[in-house]
Amino acid sequence: MIKAIFTYTFLQNAVLGALLTSIVCGLIGTIIVEKKLVMMSGGIAHTSFGGIGLGYYLDIEPIFGALFFSVLASMGIASIKRNSRTGSDTLIGIFWAIGMALGILFISLTPGYPPDISSYLFGDILTITTLDLQVMLAATILICIVIVGLFNYWKAYLFDEEFLEVLGVNTKFLEYFLFILIGLTIVILIRLVGIILVIAMLTAPPATARLFTNDLKKLMFYASLLGIFFSMTGLWFSYNLNISSGAAIILLAGLSYFLSYFIKKLVKLD
């Protein structure tokens, strides 16, 4: 496979895409796990399917439609959550259902043969295009700058939000900003593991890293390294065994978490 990487452009795109998504998973995934926003992220991910359907219907790149719907859903969930008594699980269910329904509607209205949406639902790292890479790179750079540049604010937001408010920091702005970043991250991950599996990729690397450290910086770093390992190894299995890349990556990530968990338990028992 190493020789093939230098020969085939689609494999080069796959490797670069895996590296970019892994970095983002380590940063945003850690915040999602620590802030307990896993299911809310799943709601945003499934809402983005409406944007994919809209992209096909308008004959534009579906990834841009997904980006629009993800950010819109992020802002909508954050706003309604703050300004109403509606429970988070109810909001997630509503946005989840509407996004999927709109996606199905737009695709059914698209002229011609129905498009193949399996790569967006289940992921296919081998189909990442140059345009996808450009979107991933721009979003990854933005996310890295925001997380690293405002690291102390994010740390305080995660563990002592009231302290930030006492200092006069606008926590509402931070929350809205975080949800936008989650939306961007989901768009990056869609081409890697698909809408249905995106939650696992956001949570498995940070959850595994959490078994070995409580330090936030180390947690983000280890989660990124684990994301790279899961993505690259899953890519290898996908290419050599001709199986779904999204499924290979997620199964590896899930098995690694449980294996790490049981090893840690055994070590403690000894």
- b/e burial code for range 120-157 (CB count within 10 A of at least 16 → b): bbbbbbbbbeeebbebbeebbeebeebbeeeeebbebb
Q: How far apart are CA 215 and CA 267, in angstroms?
A: 21
Residue-averaged pLDDT of the chain: 84
| 250: CATH | 1.10.3470.10
At residue 6 the predicted structure's pLDDT band, cuts being 50, 70 and 90, is low
Residue bearing the bigger pLDDT, 118 or 232: 232
- Check residue 92 and give its pLDDT: 80
Which pLDDT score, from 0 to 100, does residue 1 have?
Answer: 56
pLDDT at 221 over 90: yes
- pLDDT of 235 above 80: yes
- Rounded mean pLDDT of 216-231? 91
Torsion angle, alpha carbons of 102, 192, 37, 214, to 10: 180
Q: Indicate whether 19 pLDDT > 80.
A: yes
Confidence at residue 131, expressed as pLDDT on a 0 to 100 scale: 83
* Cα 214 to Cα 210: distance, rounded to the nearest angstrom: 6
Confidence of residue 5 (pLDDT cuts 50, 70, 90): low
* Residue numbers of the domain that contains 13: 2-269
Residue 118, number of CB atoms within 10 A of its CB = 13
The answer to whether residue 9 scores a pLDDT higher than 80 is no
Comparison of pLDDT for 129 and 219, the residue scoring more: 219
Model confidence over 69-124: pLDDT tens digits? 988 888 888 787 777 666 667 778 888 889 999 999 998 888 877 777 877 887 77
pLDDT value at residue 176: 86
The average pLDDT across 231-248 equals 84
Please give the tally of structural domains in the chain.
Answer: 1
The whole-number average pLDDT for the span 141-162 is 87
DSSP string, the chain: -HHHHTT-HHHHHHHHHHHHHHHHHHHHHHHHHHTT-HHHHHHHHHHHHHHHHHHHHHTS-HHHHHHHHHHHHHHHHHHHHHHS---HHHHHHHHHHHHHHHHHHHHHHSSSSPP--HHHHH--GGG--HHHHHHHHHHHHHHHHHHHHTHHHHHHHHH-HHHHHHTT--HHHHHHHHHHHHHHHHHHHHHHH-TTTHHHHHHHHHHHHHTT---HHHHHHHHHHHHHHHHHHHHHHHHHHT--HHHHHHHHHHHHHHHHHHHHHHHHH-
pTM for the whole thing? 0.86
Average pLDDT of the residues in 217-223:
92
pLDDT one-digit tens code per residue, 22-81: 888 889 999 988 888 888 888 888 888 999 999 999 988 888 898 899 888 888 887 877
